[in-house]
Each structure stands twice: as structure tokens, then as C-alpha cells.
Amino acid sequence: MANHKSALKRIRQTESKRLNNRYYGKTTRNAIKKFRMETNKEEAEKMYPEVVSMIDKLAKRNVIHKNKASNLKSKLALQINRL
């Protein structure tokens, strides 16, 4: 167990950040899955900026690596072009 007040506070902060990161990560993954299931090109083009924004926010907060974010956005753009 932690011996200092600051260590206890750090534990509390880390846990809340972990839960927030899990929530935003899961929400983004669900949005990506929904985007990939889309078969209508117009709907996909409408969803694309929202999903990209979510991915960028995860990369900015270091939940995912910036290169992974870039790869995801690239794959999603390719998917739109295939429709």
C-alpha cells in the first residue's frame, strides 16, 4: 500500500484516467466498426469526419499511438473509395 498522501492521490488519478481512456477507446472502436459495416457511400462520407476526429483525440491524449491513428484513418479513407 502507498506510504504517502501524494501516492494515494496518484493512485486515484491513475484509476480515473484509466477508466476514461477505456471509455473513449471503446466508443471509438464501436464507431469504427459501425463505419466499416456501412454500405452506403453517402452515409460513410458523412460519418468519416466524426470517426477521424475521435481517432485524432485518442492520439492526442496518447491513448493510441499517432502512427496507429494515421493507419486507421488511411484504412477508413480507402474503405470509402471502395464503396
pLDDT truncated to tens, each residue of the chain (83 aa)?
788 999 999 999 999 999 999 999 999 999 999 999 999 999 999 999 999 999 999 999 999 999 999 999 999 999 999 98
The amino acid sitting at 36 is R
Q: Is 70 a domain residue? A: yes
| pLDDT score, position 14 | 97
pTM of the complete model: 0.87
Q: Is 72 a domain residue? A: yes
- Cell numbers given for 64: 493510441
| pLDDT score, position 1 | 75
Q: Is 5 a domain residue? A: no
Q: How many domains does the chain have?
A: 1
CB atoms within 10 A of CB 20: 12
Cβ atoms of 58 and 70 within 8 Å: the answer is: no
| pLDDT score, position 3 | 87
Q: Is 3 a domain residue? A: no
